[in-house]
């Protein structure tokens, strides 16, 4: 496992230069050990950036998949405006988080352990229970018919220890997968729902209304990236079954794939600094939060999620 704070390879790799445009794009990306997470320093993200800069970020996202931008001073409005440069922003309220209103902005995800009054949530607060699902490997909004493209997570308040976020490269995992598993996985479709991921940590306290909002959606297990053509495993804790398979066999097979895909060579751990803005591509990566003492320390991050363009079922098959 690698740690962004102990990056040992200072080999800066510039994002490919824009073609046919005189605007210079100063986006220098330093890859971390696992190769798919890049650190960008001395770059200020701004919703008003020229298209060539936005395009350079997208190209860097295509080649890396996770980018860490240090020292970004953004409030919720600026974070939302920035995300909007990459596509339509998803609504923040997900199937099991409908009634928590700490943040004024309806499209900012509250990734914190704080309640509406700004205090640390009680141990048995059901929002806390449900958000603990973020500690399982997942891809954001894989339970939506059109799952997420980019997530952009901004750090405001951090605990003194713990609370890192890990990322896993699902393209590298696919490339390395043994051929027999590739052949089995290639055509499969899975049902995704927040009920499945929360059920895995024993949280099953859902109202009828929530169950309805969490109706499972089908997704391909192997995706082809719209921009790069690369294949990746579309794994997520939200998976509850494979179409045409018995549920226990579905979950065992998915668990085998998750174990394979989260081996140390595919994983990179990010240790947050306040004002980090991390962008990840949900189409090609999984991520999970790591534990911290959430009854003692506040941890407050804010996320905008850029929606995808189409159902994975409409993608070019693997």
Nearest-approach distance from CB 6 to Mn ion, in angstroms: 24
153 near ligand OGA, judged by CB under 6 A = yes
Q: Which of 143, 287, 307, 308 binds ligand OGA (CB under 6 A)?
A: 287
Question: Which residues are within 8 A (CB) of 267 and not within 5 positions of it... i.e. 6 or more apart?
Answer: 1, 2, 34, 166, 167, 168, 169
The one segment of 67-75, 93-101, 137-145, 290-298 that binds Mn ion by CB under 5 A: 137-145
Distances in Å between the Cα of 240 and the Cα atoms of 216, 250, 251, 269 are 8, 8, 7, 26
Neighbouring C-beta atoms of residue 285, cutoff 10 Å:
26
Nearer to ligand OGA, 142 or 250 (CB): 142
Indicate the pairing of strand 285-289 with strand 217-220. unpaired
Closest by alpha carbon to 159, among 52, 12, 294? Answer: 294
**Radius of gyration for the chain, computed over Cα atoms and rounded to the nearest angstrom:** 19
134 near ligand OGA, judged by CB under 6 A = yes
Number of residues that bind ligand OGA (CB under 6 A): 10
301 near ligand OGA, judged by CB under 6 A = yes
Give φ, ψ of 11 to 5 degrees: -90, 90
Q: How far, in Å, CA of 201 to CA of 210, rounded?
A: 17
Nearer to ligand OGA, 12 or 291 (CB): 291
166 near Mn ion, judged by CB under 5 A = no
140 near ligand OGA, judged by CB under 6 A = yes
Q: Which of 60, 72, 86, 140 binds Mn ion (CB under 5 A)?
A: 140
3 near ligand OGA, judged by CB under 6 A = no
Query: At 5, is the secondary structure helix, strand, or coil?
Result: helix
What distance lies between CA 288 and its chain's CA centroid?
Answer: 8
Nearest-approach distance from CB 305 to Mn ion, in angstroms: 9
236 near ligand OGA, judged by CB under 6 A = no
- As a 3-state breakdown, the chain gives helix, strand, coil percent values, each rounded to 5, of 25, 25, 50
Q: Which of 35, 289, 307, 308 binds ligand OGA (CB under 6 A)?
A: 289
142 near ligand OGA, judged by CB under 6 A = no
Inter-residue contact 138 to 286 (CB < 8 Å): yes
The one segment of 39-47, 134-142, 180-188, 294-302 that binds Mn ion by CB under 5 A: 134-142
111 binds, among ligand OGA, Mn ion, none (CB under 5 to 8 A by kind): ligand OGA
Binding site for Mn ion (CB under 5 A): 140
Binding site for ligand OGA (CB under 6 A): 111, 134, 140, 151, 153, 165, 287, 289, 301, 303
């Amino acid at each position: 496992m690698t740690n962004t704070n102990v990056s040992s390879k200072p080999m800066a790799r510039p994002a490919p230069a824009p073609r046919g445009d005189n605007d210079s794009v100063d986006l220098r990306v330093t890859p971390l050990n696992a190769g798919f997470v890049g650190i960008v320093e001395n770059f200020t993200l701004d919703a008003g950036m020229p298209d060539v800069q936005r395009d350079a970020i997208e190209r860097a996202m295509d080649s890396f998949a996770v980018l860490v931008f240090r020292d970004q001073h953004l409030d919720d409005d600026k974070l939302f405006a920035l995300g909007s440069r990459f596509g339509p922003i998803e609504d923040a309220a997900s199937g099991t988080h409908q009634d928590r209103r700490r943040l004024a902005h309806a499209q900012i995800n509250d990734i914190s352990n704080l309640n509406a009054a700004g205090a640390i949530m009680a141990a048995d607060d059901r929002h806390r229970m449900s958000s603990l699902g973020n500690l399982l490997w997942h891809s954001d909004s894989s339970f939506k018919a059109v799952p997420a493209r980019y997530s952009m997570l901004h750090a405001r308040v951090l605990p003194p220890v713990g609370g890192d976020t890990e990322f896993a490269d699902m393209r590298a995992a696919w490339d390395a997968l043994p051929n027999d598993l590739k052949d089995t996985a290639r055509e499969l479709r899975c049902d995704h729902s927040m009920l499945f991921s929360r059920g895995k940590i024993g949280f099953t306290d859902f109202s009828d209304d929530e169950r309805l909002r969490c109706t499972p959606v089908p997704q391909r297990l192997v995706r082809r990236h719209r921009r790069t053509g690369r294949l990746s495993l579309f794994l997520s804790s939200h998976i509850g079954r494979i179409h045409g398979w018995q549920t226990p066999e579905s979950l065992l097979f998915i668990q085998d794939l998750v174990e394979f895909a989260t081996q140390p060579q595919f994983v990179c751990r990010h240790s947050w600094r306040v004002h980090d803005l991390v962008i990840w591509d949900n189409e090609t990566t999984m991520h999970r939060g790591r534990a911290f003492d959430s009854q003692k320390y506040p941890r407050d991050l804010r996320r905008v999620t850029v929606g995808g363009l189409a159902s994975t079922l409409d993608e070019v098959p693997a």
